[in-house]
Every structure is written in C-alpha cells, then in structure tokens.
A and B are shown apart, each in its own frame.
Chain A
Amino acid sequence: MATAHADAVLELRDVSKSFGQVAALRSGSIRVTPRSIHALVGENGAGKSTLVKIVAGVHRRDGGEMLLEGESVDFHSTAESKARGIAVIYQEPTLFPDLSVTENIFMGRQPLTTGRRIDRSAMYDEAQALFDRLGVHIDPRRPAEGLSIADQQIIEIAKAISLDAKVLIMDEPTAALSGVEVERLFTVARSLRDEGRGLVFISHRFDEVFALCDQITVMRDGQYIDTLTTADTDVDQIVSLMVGREVGDLFPKTAAELGEPVLQVRDLTMTGVFHDISFEVRAGEIVGLAGLVGAGRSEIARAIFGVDRYESGVVTMDGIAIPGHDPRSAIRSGMAFIPEDRRKQGLVTQASVAHNVSAAVRSRLSRWGFLTSGAESRAAGPWAGRLEVKTGALDMDAATMSGGNQQKVVIAKWLATDPRLLIIDEPTRGIDVGTKAEVHRLLSQLAGEGMAILMISSELPEVLGMADRVLVVCEGRLTADIPRAEATPENVMRAATRTTEGVR
C-alpha cells in the first residue's frame, strides 16, 4: 500500500499487561497508519482484546510504549483516550438503554445553547445528519433499548464519527451481522478510511479481513508475530502464523455407529425468536447447529433445555415428552447443557471447583437431606481428574482459572450427571489451542460411547470437522440439513444467509 510508509497515527511497541499471575499480553505491537484499515487477527486469548482495552484507556499497560501521532501517551481513563481522538467499538456495544440514541451519541458533548443548556433540536438534527450519512433509518428520538446489534453498532460508529476520531478500533463488529449489514458496515469503514482516519479491524472471518483491510497484524499467545500487507499474503499463511503450526489435526472426529433418536424436537416456535424447528439427534451422533450469531441458534438450545420459554412445539427425550421451561425436568430426563457464556451462565466463578463440578448432582449427594462439602469434593474430584482440570485444590475459586480450564469444569459438571444428550454452545470459544483439541477429542469420544451431542458453533471448521450432520439456522428457521459428506463452507454459509440475501 502506498500509505504504508507514512507516519503512524497510532503505534504500540512491546506493550505488556498482566492480571494477577496471568499475562494477558506479553508484547503487543501494532503500527496503524492514517488512511488505512489494519486487521488485527489471532485466536481467542491471543491478547487482541487486552491490547484494544489498553489503547482505549480501560487498562493501563505494565510495560512497553504507546505513541499517538508520534507522541508517547499513557491513558488513565477512557475519557482521556477519547479526548485524544481514539474511538473503540466493542464486541458488545455499550449503550445506555434508557436514553435516546441521540443522547447515546452525544453524551457529555451535547451541543449547547446560551446558558449551557442542551440544544436538543440541534442535537437531533445532527444525529439525523449522521444517520443519513451512514445510510440508515433510525429515529433519533427512540431509546437505545431494543435495537438490533447491527443498529447498536451503527450508533457506536455514529458516535466515533461525531467525535471526529483519528483512530477507530472495531473489535469483532461483524460477529452478529448478516451479509447486508456487513456490506453496509464495510462501505462506512471504507469511507472513513478515505477521509484519512486509521482503522483497526478485529475479525475471525478471513474473507472479510481480505476484502476490507490493507495490512494484517497477527498475534499469538499475547505476542506480536508479524505484520503483512494483504496483497502479499493469503489465508493459509495467516492461519499458520496464528496457530503456530499446521492445522488439520484439530478435529479428530471418529465415525460412530448411530443408535436410536435420543432428542426429538417437533415444531418448536417462539414468536420473534424461532419458528417451526424440528429435528432429532441420535445416540452417538454429533449434530452441528450452524448459523450467524443472533440467528437464533442459542435461543433454540436454551428453549430445548428449558431455561427459556417456547410457545408451541414438543421436545421429547427417548420418546418421552418433557415439560417446557423447566430445566430440572430436562436434567432429570438426561439432558446436559453447556452454555455459550461460561462466566455468566456456565459456572459460578466465585465458588470453588468442587462446588461447581458437583452443582448439577448435589441433590443426589445428600444423605438424609444433608450435604457436606466433603461429599461434594469426593464427587467432584474424579470428574475434575478425568478432564485434567488444572487447579491446586478442589476448594480454589473458579474465577482465577483460564478459559480452557473453566470450560473443563463446566464439562465435568455436566458429565457428572451422566447425560444421554449433551447440548454444547460454542464449545471452544475463548480457550487455547491445546485445550481446544482436548475438547474436540472428548466430544468425539463421548459420541463414540453413545452420547447424543448437539453442538452450536460459530467456527465453521469446527462444525464441518466435528459434526455428523449440520443443521443451519437463519433468522430463526432451519434452512438446511446437510450430512457430513456433503457439507462445505459454501453451502453452509449460503444457507445461513439465505433469506437475508434472497428476499431483498
């Protein structure tokens, strides 16, 4: 790129950051030039988000250098980094739900009339102008509550534009977007670049990275690996840099003999969330549930397990219907559910490993109604051991563990219930490569032992590698049921975006 040798607007050199004993970032480096879009890629846990948060002023670095337009900076707060022209759009937008979208954009910088009074009409007009420019129709007066993730991101971008940010960092902005929405975002991003701003784009989707970005910086295990010009590289090179070794040995799914149907779902419907969902999972089978984030995959799983309601439809386990909205009956019928957000839903991070592992079986551990922590530990120990959970002792809090270890604790908790069906939502999100392979091996082994597994994943290679059958969800409907032999990235992605692209 012509601009590669221009002065960097933002530069980080060997920035490091630790939380307690955990080094989240060992040596992060990146050099962002104006008038360019710079991709930051790496596996979950590579330190990208920590780096972003240091730039944003959420965390302060422990070491290294950070230069903004050649000047060394050290932000103590997000307000400081914002004042210096850095705008960050987080993975999950952080809006104030009670306030109007306009107030969300201009909070703290509202246009004033005389007497330091907020000029509301000017503010609404400016917001309208921003939306017009971005090509979206959003009522400037509506509250932020209830906006789709895509629209929330547009609000965040409008915020950044109104700030006249020199550097705009987007942390996985496309994870929850449909094809059209992604295109809209890219159009905006390119126009911002052409205005001379520097953009940093974090994504796991290589097609997007290659379509949008000028340079690519790769990180691995909290370290800077390399920076490449997009035109001079390809996906394989980036992936091998990210992983640090050849891929291909990641998904050891062994063929298993399929048994009787374990889970059967008939016409499951929840208005506005999912419609007419019917499928079955057989003993020994791994069924992958693919689709875009927000398509309704997790919601379907949650409804099956009973943590959410559904309006109509039937869920049966081994031919017996189980009542809706009742996780206890689901567990009793042999279901286990490993949710997507393990810190919020999967485990109680402030409780001990023993407490967590035994949580789903503790009523069985009681003697004459009484439960002791000794009984919990005795029940938890073998399961933690089988999954090789790394902890000093069983009464240590789960909070301090790495993501991979926490995931093992959650898996151990549910295996302890001796389930017939395991529903697992994003089995390897945010865990290191080694543990990832372990989890994959375990799932394959469990299926081999006759367990039925329903696996939701956003990582296409994982779905294609692990699943005997791929079900694709798009906007709350099942749009494809593809056997392992026929599943390709192309036909899965096409089904995942079908209605969005097809209708309009």
Chain B
Amino acid sequence: MSETSTRPASSPPEHAHEEIRLVAPSRQSPAVRAFNTVVRSREMSILLVLVLLVAAATAKNPSFLFSGNGWRDLLLTPSILLLLAAGQAVVIITRNVDLSVGSVLAVTAYLTGRLFIDFPGIPIVVVALAGLAVGGVLGLVNGLLVSLGRVPALVITLGTMYIYRGLVLTWAGSDRINASDLPRGFLRLGTQSVLGIPVLFVVAVVVVAAVGYYLHAHRGGRELYAIGSDPDAAVLYGLPVRRRVLAAFVLSGALAGLAGVVHAARYGTVSSGAGTGIELEAVAAVVIGGVAIFGGSGTVWGAAIGAMLLVTIDRALPILGIPDFWQRAVVGVLIISAIVLDRVLSARRTRKLIEAREQS
C-alpha cells in the first residue's frame, strides 16, 4: 500500500526516493495489527493482574466469585470509583487533575437524599439528572478557574475540594440521610441485577464505554490528548485549548455528581463525610490504569480496569490471608510499580524509536 501506490506528477524524482532515511511503514494486516495492539497494550497487562487476583482469590475461596453475593459485590463495589476514574482520566489526559471529586460526590449524594425527602414521589431519572447537572456546574467552576486563572488545577481543585466539602457540611450539618428516607425503588437499584449484572455496574460501564469511545473516535477526544501531550503546541496548532479543558472539568464534575447518586443508591445512607479521600483513589486508579500523570497518553478503559483492581484488592486480600489492614500498603506498592513500569516502557519505546532512526 505504500510502495505500489501511484504518486502524483509533482512528486520528487525516483532517486530522491532511494536516498531518504527510511522509517519503514508496517506491513501487517489490519486485523493482526489490531490484535497485537490490544494484546501488547498497557491495559491488557493490568487486566491480567486483575484476572490473576480474582482467580487466586476464587481458588482459595470459590464463593469469592461463584456465589450470588460474591459476584454481585465484585461488580457493584467498584461502580462508584469507575465513574470517578473515567472523569479523572479525561482530566489527567489534558495534563490537569481534579481533587474536588470526593466533595462533589458528597454534595450530590446528600442532594439525592434531600430531593427524595423534600419532593416525595420525584422520579429517579430526575434525581440522577439533577446529580449530573449539579456536579457539572461544580466542575464548570473548577474549569473556569483553571482555564481563566492559568493556575495549576492541583491548587484550584484543592481549594474547591475544601469549599465544596464545606458547602455540604454546612448544608447537611450533622444531619444524615438514612435508608428509610429513600424510596424503595431507588434502594433496589443499588442491589438489582439485569441478567446477573448489577444495574449500577451497567450504568458505570456504559459511561466508561461512552467516554472511552468519545476519546478514541471523536475529534474533540483526540484534541484532549493533543492538549495534554504538549499544551504549547496545542495553542500554536490553533486547538480550542480552553474550551476543551473546561469541558473535561465539566465532565469530571458531572460524573462525580452521578457517582454521588450511585453512592446514595448503593449504601442507602449519606453523611456529609461521604467520599472523603476518594479523590486520591480516583487518581491512583487512573495512574495504575496507565494514564500518564502529565497527560497525553493512556485510556479511559485502562483507568476503569485500574479502578476495578483497586477495589477488588480490598476484597481479595483477606481471602488470600492478608489482613485487609494492609490493603492500602498494597495499593501504594501497586501505584509505584505502575509508574515505574510506565517509565521503563516509555524509556524502551524511546530507545527503540531512536534506534530505528539510527539504523535507517
């Protein structure tokens, strides 16, 4: 497809063709290439770790996977973190970070309870949309401050993390939403399954798939990668940097808002401390999943698998005979291994690319 194609009349003479340095095009068929890409991907390696973990835990105690509860918990527990990780991945790909997601989650989780209490009979869909909308607005505030203030997102979202948490504390006080305040139908959502798959997990997976697809296949999604890869080049290129970064924050906020609704459905109780510290877990999931902390590479699928792994470790460790107190230490080791691995892989890739250039 490269050598044989006809060249337009204005192409340079044949001899120039021979002299230039070759970086040969690959000659694999598309199917083989796609297969190789998937198998060799960073996501695959983390998925393998996840599968091994589940297999080990199941071997030790078959009910980890093969009981109704075990299967359900395996999928249901990560749902919240999946949503947060998807949003966080998008933000991190643009070379930013959103530390306020835990607080946003608390705001909309409490909002969910309030809506059901204050407007009895309100449809669940409306509540979910409200969660998305409120989360989106809080994300918009982050995005505006970051893109207009030209201040690192780390600082801005650290600030709004306090502010949003303060808002929900003020609003809720010591009040707490209990399961009895929530309609039965809503609580059932938290445990209901379709074809053996928990509904909330389905919601999370649909969101992850949609976001991942957008990032992979749409212009806007690709521009997010470009911005994270080199923000200065993105400006010179004429990409709408501010608008895209703003959108990434709105998305992250909206998904955190949705995660708040899911939180309420899953646990039935909401206190103003909901989601404390989960922002760092979301960042950890994204990093474990292979998204570079300085943007430009990685996928939402990877982040999602990272989130599954984080949550599953929590449940698998006791079964494997390790007290679950050690879960965080294991997570820490995992994060550090992931970034060291990424470092090694990228160093190898760079070396290969340079060697390819030298040999030509």
Direct contact of A and B (CB under 8 A): yes
**Among B1, B2, B8, B234, which residue has the most Cβ atoms of chain A within 10 A?**
B2
Residue B126, interface by CB 8 Å: no
Given contacts A103-B222, A147-B357, A151-B21, contact A133 B234 (CB under 8 A): no
Q: Is the CB of A137 within 8 A of B2?
A: yes
Residue B238, interface by CB 8 Å: yes
Q: When chains A and B are docked, how far (Å) is the Cα of A75 from the Cα of B278?
A: 44
The 8 A-B residue pairs with the shortest CB-CB distance in the complex, in nearest-first order: A146-B353, A79-B238, A98-B296, A94-B233, A78-B238, A96-B229, A191-B10, A98-B229
Residue B68, interface by CB 8 Å: no
Residue B11, interface by CB 8 Å: yes
CB-contacts of B186-203 with A (<8 A): none
Which residues of chain A come closer than 8 Å to B349, judged between CB atoms? 143, 145-146
Which residues of chain B come closer than 8 Å to A117, judged between CB atoms? 217-218
Residue B175, interface by CB 8 Å: no
A306 shortest CB reach to chain B, Å: 22
Which residues of chain B come closer than 8 Å to A98, judged between CB atoms? 225, 228-229, 292, 296-297
With CB as the reference atom, state the residue of chain A lying closest to B298.
Answer: A98
Residue B20, interface by CB 8 Å: yes
Of the residues B8, B225, B292, B354, contact of A133 by C-beta under 8 Å: B8
Residue B30, interface by CB 8 Å: yes
- Determine, out of A181-189, A256-264, A441-449, the stretch whose residues face the partner at the interface: A181-189
CB-contacts of B1-21 with A (<8 A): 1-2, 5, 7-8, 10-13, 16-17, 19-21
Residue A321, interface by CB 8 Å: no
Q: When chains A and B are docked, how far (Å) is the Cα of A58 from the Cα of B234?
A: 12
Given contacts A108-B223, A191-B10, A195-B10, contact A142 B23 (CB under 8 A): yes
Q: Binary interface profile of B, 219-238, with partner A (CB < 8 Å = 1, else 0)?
A: 10011011011101111111
CB-contacts of A114-166 with B (<8 A): 116-118, 121, 125, 128-129, 131-143, 145-148, 150-151
CB-contacts of A249-287 with B (<8 A): 272
Q: When chains A and B are docked, how far (Å) is the Cα of A195 from the Cα of B10?
A: 9
Q: When chains A and B are docked, how far (Å) is the Cα of A452 from the Cα of B268?
A: 79
Given contacts A96-B225, A96-B226, A148-B21, contact A116 B218 (CB under 8 A): yes
Which residues of chain B come closer than 8 Å to A140, judged between CB atoms? 25
Q: Is the CB of A184 within 8 A of B12?
A: yes
Residue A379, interface by CB 8 Å: no
Residue B350, interface by CB 8 Å: yes
Given contacts A146-B350, A195-B10, A272-B354, contact A99 B20 (CB under 8 A): no
Q: Is the CB of A133 within 8 A of B217?
A: no
Q: Is the CB of A121 within 8 A of B223?
A: no
**Among B11, B13, B24, which residue has the most Cβ atoms of chain A within 10 A?**
B11
Given contacts A99-B225, A107-B222, A195-B10, contact A148 B357 (CB under 8 A): yes
Q: Is the CB of A142 within 8 A of B11?
A: no
CB-contacts of B226-256 with A (<8 A): 226, 228-230, 232-240
With CB as the reference atom, state the residue of chain A lying closest to B4.
Answer: A132
Residue B59, interface by CB 8 Å: no
Residue B355, interface by CB 8 Å: yes
Residue A91, interface by CB 8 Å: no
CB-contacts of A186-211 with B (<8 A): 187-188, 191, 194-195
Q: When chains A and B are docked, how far (Å) is the Cα of A139 from the Cα of B354?
A: 14
Q: Is the CB of A184 within 8 A of B20?
A: yes
Of the residues B8, B21, B223, B353, contact of A143 by C-beta under 8 Å: B353
Q: Is the CB of B26 within 8 A of A99?
A: no
